[in-house]
Chain A
Amino acid sequence: MDFLNYFGNVFTPYHLMLLFGGTTAGLILGALPGLSPTMAVALVIPFTFHMEPASGLILLGAMYTATVAGGAISAILVNVPGAPANIATALDGHQMARKGRASEALHYCFLSSFVGGIFGIIILIFFTPPLAKLALKFGPTELFWIAILGITVIGTIGNKSVIKGLMAGLFGLAISTIGDNPMLGEQRFVYSEHMESGIHIVVALIGLFALPQILTLLEESGKSKVGTYALSETKWITSLKYNVTRIKALSLGSTIGAIVGIIPGAGGQIAGLVAYDQIKKTSHSPENFGQGEPDGIIAAESANNAMVGPSLVPLLTLSIPGSPTAAVLLGGLLIHGLFPGPDLFTVHAEVIWTFIDSLIVAQVFMVVIGLFLSRHSGWIMKVPPHYMAASILVLAVFGTYSIQSSYSDVLLMGVLGITMYFASKLGFGPAPVVLGVILGPLAEDNFLQGKLIGEAGDGIFDYFFTGTINLTLILATLGSIAYSVYASHKMNKRVMLK
């Protein structure tokens, strides 16, 4: 119960101020497309140079927690996910907003983030040593099968037609191979110097989601019904009462998020999507998803915040980050001479437990500030579409440029976005494309590594098809495909009956 002893350190005026500032800034930065949690944490690290180690980490932890939740704000209100982790939130969240239920959707988002976040930190506090050992078992083959399992989700995410979903996913996988490949040490498909460093995930995210949204808003602004949606204010207590009854969505989301978080390299980016896919598949009324089903938000948001705590497990014990943001956080630890490993919890116990305790308090700040902001969400929904389009465009360009200070990224974002706008007219959705961009390198790099290792050992086939984790993942992949076929068959029958 070490962690209980250090709560006092969190409740100093200075640390509470850092938590408040970090959370508020994190929610706002997270809501801006392009400023993903990874970027936000990287931006703050230089400031922590001059702070005490514990204070610096408290600020970084608060930013991490809040940006992950903040990305949902723009996903819900303007259909532009703030970060890849929030893609699944946009699918039902924005539909709810369009039906005038924006504040309600935001309530579910923050309440579920809180539940998932606390669950993740409990896992971090109590199960770190055994889970760290488990994390090490995920080598190239295991990660390859995880990527394949993720790809089975593509067909069912955000598209009415499975075939179109798969085609969009394939396009995403294809463009993910552009640029430098670290395994081969070669550049591929670089037809102009702008494509030299490939398609960054966040560039794809902004282009594919934000630009079509801007063009759609401009279309709407010309029509007589000036795009303000009907608004109904829901009291947060009403949302809370409903939210706590959604036990299945909450527990499924939190569990999946925690598992994905522990696996190093899988990236918390897919936690929300996998949870969304699972809740949809196991729902009694899967046809409601994509139309504004609260369970979609609840599962996705509890999952992506449940990922935060466990992604620190392999980081703090083995110096292996569980998510891209955790990787940046590693830099923040090293700068203060805090080297991950067993020493961290003994020699630096005070710093590290204060940090973990502050994560719990940060969750409380996040939910309170988030619910407060939700009350004013109506203001954003009332902005006339042409103003909205202009502001999103500014943010999209600024956000894209700021990722790698690269003008090429802005051009790529523009090209992808305009292509996506026309493709969306033909019924293709952006979510499978982004998922393809995320999973492509995960599958390819790990396959290449596994191939090299397998060839040096007993052969590739042996290496990929033995081991408990590999076989479990292969079975899960087959199960996921079989279930998709079965579920879509069942759904068609139900729709026919209606």
Chain B
Amino acid sequence: MNINKSLIKKAAITVASTALLLSVAGASFADYPDRPIGVMVAYNPGGATDFQARIATLASAKEKDGKALSVGQPIYVTNKPGAGGRKGWNWFADKAPSDGYMLAAYNVPHFIAQSIVFDTKYNINNLEPVGNWGADPAVLIVGKDSEFNTATELVAYAKKNPGKVTVSGAGKFVGHHIAHLQLAKAAGVKLTYVPGKGGVGAMKLVKGGQVKAGFNNLSDAARAQGDIKILAVADLERHAFLPDVPTLMELGILVDNSSVNFRGLMVPKGTPANVISHLEKTVPVMFNDKKTLGKMKQTNSPVRIMTRNEVIAMWKERQSALTELLKDLK
């Protein structure tokens, strides 16, 4: 009986202390954040979005003299890959808690294009950006032994041979696919798009000479220059990694920056205003950390830090440009 009594006592203490702890946690809700924060990545661990998200959030808990320098809590990454990112983002818009303890990484134009073409649970109206860390433009590439040396030559060939130019990219309705659609439209040519298995698979088709050309990530193409030729960048300006490569615009092919792959962090709609304003202030500071920037440079990840308001404007602009471009594809 003694044992039982002490057991009941212990159980009572446990229950009571848990209740106490919970009430404390509830009371301190105003002091966001008071516990570690998650970031949902809708792609596989080890991929570019995943490792960039991990690097971008490295400095989240940094402090000096007991004062938080950025977000103020450690950030951990959790992966929900599947269906080209749709699975994770559907979960995020539909089921993720909107208390600021679960963030997600976004990829533009992917998620916006998907929300236009498919019946998704997310769109730019039910997500709130808090900051952007990177921008990876699409580049037009050909194999090392290709007959084409400039984008102009490629377009001229495609004009004479409609549909004969095969162009690989990371999949459907991702930046590379958008860039392909824009190129075909702007140059008035017919190209054959070959979706690869991710960016790596698309790059392989170009290196192996199985396709005539491809769109791929600037960062991946920049370090593969031994095996490929980079003809043009699908962005408004030349890129620091490739100062000698012209933009398509410069060549008279009017392709804007709609295909640039922007990466950043967001929260679901309904997140309290004080939480959003905290994140909005601290997330860009976290991205700007010296060590983080060093790691980004080391991994060839192109950084472009943008604030919440800049991202909101960029999302809106993408939404209308992509709606126009994808109108015929639906």
- Chain A residues 333-370 with CB under 8 Å of chain B are 334-337, 339, 341-342
**Is B207 an interface residue, CB under 8 A from the partner?**
yes
The distance in angstroms between the C-alpha atoms of A334 and B46, with both chains bound, is 9
State whether B227 touches A318 (Cβ < 8 A).
yes
Interface stretch among A90-98, A168-176, A451-459, A477-485?
A451-459
For window 175-211 of A, CB contacts with B under 8 Å fall at: 179-180, 182-185, 187, 196-198
Contact A138/B44 with A180-B82, A180-B83 known, Cβ cut-off 8 Å:
no
Contacts of A329 in B (CB 8 A): 46
Indicate if B269 sits at the interface (CB-CB under 8 A): no
CA distance A342 to B195 in the complex (A): 27
CB-defined contacts of B298 to chain A, threshold 8 Å: 336-337
A451 to B227, CA, bound (A): 25
Task: Return chain A residues, CB-CB under 8 Å to B197.
Answer: 182, 265, 445
Which residues of B sit under 8 angstroms from A327, Cβ to Cβ? Answer: 46, 200
Q: Which residue of A lies closest to B299 (CB)?
A: A334
Inter-subunit contact B205/A139 (CB<8 Å): yes
A196 in contact with B210 (CB, 8 Å): no
The answer for the CA separation of A339 and B201 in the assembled complex, in Å, is: 17
B15 to chain A, nearest CB (A): 26
CA distance A183 to B298 in the complex (A): 32
Chain A residues positioned under 8 Å from B163 (CB to CB): 456
From A196, A320, A455, A456, B86 is in contact (CB under 8 Å) with A196
Instruction: Give the 3 A-B CB pairs with smallest separation, nearest first.
Output: A185-B172, A197-B82, A331-B46
Q: How far is the CA of A197 from the CA of B82 in the complex (A)?
A: 5
What are 21 sample pairs from A and B whose C-beta atoms fall under 8 A apart?
Answer: A136-B208, A137-B208, A182-B84, A184-B172, A185-B117, A185-B177, A187-B118, A196-B90, A197-B87, A318-B207, A318-B227, A319-B224, A320-B200, A321-B200, A335-B299, A337-B299, A341-B224, A342-B226, A406-B80, A456-B166, A457-B166
> With A265-B201, A456-B166 in contact, is A182–B195 under 8 Å at CB?
yes
* CB atoms of B45 and A339 under 8 A apart: no
Least CB distance, A192 to chain B, in whole angstroms? 13
| The residue from B51, B164, B195, B208 contacting A334, defined by CB atoms under 8 A apart | B51
Contact between B54 and A46 (Cβ–Cβ < 8 Å)? yes
Complex contact B84–A453 (CB within 8 A): no
B299 to chain A: closest CB distance in Å?
Answer: 5
**Total number of A residues with any Cβ neighbor in B under 8 Å:** 50
**How distant is the Cα of A46 from the Cα of B53 in the complex, in angstroms?**
11
For the complex, give the distance between the alpha carbons of A151 and B120 in Å: 35
Given the interface pairs A331-B45, A455-B192, the reply to whether A182 lies near B171 with Cβ below 8 Å is yes
> How large, as a class, is the contact surface on chain B?
35 or more
- Smallest CB–CB gap between A400 and chain B, Å? 14
CA distance A101 to B257 in the complex (A): 64
Number of A-B contacts (CB under 8 A): 140
Distance A139 CA – B211 CA, assembled complex (angstroms): 10
A123 lies within 8 A of chain B by Cβ? no
B127 adjacent to chain A (CB < 8 Å) = no
Q: A456: which B residues are within 8 A, CB to CB?
A: 163-166, 192
For window 33-57 of B, CB contacts with A under 8 Å fall at: 44-47, 50-51, 54-55
Among B54, B204, B207, B220, point to the contact of A49 (Cβ < 8 A): B54
Contact among B46, B82, B196, B210 with A404 in the assembled complex (CB-CB below 8 Å): B82
Contact of B173 among A179, A185, A265 (CB under 8 A): A185
Is the pair B171, A185 in contact by a Cβ cutoff of 8 Å?
A: yes
Q: Is B78 an interface residue (CB 8 A)?
A: yes
Interface check B311, CB cutoff 8 A: no
- B274-308 near A? 1/0 per residue, CB < 8 Å: 00000000000000000000010011100000000
A120 to B83 alpha-carbon distance, docked (Å): 34
Identify the A interface with B (CB < 8 A).
41-43, 45-46, 49, 136-140, 179-180, 182-185, 187, 196-198, 264-265, 318-321, 327-332, 334-337, 339, 341-342, 404-406, 445, 449, 452-453, 455-457
**Chain B residue nearest in CB terms to A186:** B172
- Judging by beta carbons under 8 Å apart, are B192 and A452 in contact? yes
Report B250 CB to chain A, min CB distance, Å.
27
- Per the bound structure, the CA–CA distance linking A424 and B6 in Å amounts to 51
Q: Which chain A residues border B299 with CB–CB below 8 Å?
A: 334-335, 337
Chain A residues with CB under 8 Å of B165's CB are 456
Cβ-defined contact, B300 with A339, below 8 A? yes
Which residues of chain B are within 8 angstroms of A321 by Cβ–Cβ distance?
200
Given A136-B204, A334-B300, A453-B211, 5 extra CB contacts under 8 A: A43-B45, A180-B86, A331-B47, A404-B80, A406-B87
Determine whether B194 belongs to the interface, using a CB cutoff of 8 Å to chain A. Answer: yes
Q: Residue B316 at the A interface, CB < 8 A?
A: no
Contact in complex: B83, A136 (CB < 8 Å):
no
Chain A hits for B205, CB < 8 A: 139-140, 449
Min CB distance, A32 to chain B, in Å? Answer: 17
B203 partner, pick from A179, A319, A335, A337, beta carbons under 8 A: A319
Q: Is the C-beta of B223 less than 8 angstroms from some C-beta in chain A?
A: yes
Closest to B196 in A: A449
Question: How near does chain A come to B180, taking the closest CB pair, in angstroms?
Answer: 12
* Minimum C-beta distance from B199 to chain A (A): 10
Smallest CB separation, B41 vs chain A (Å): 11
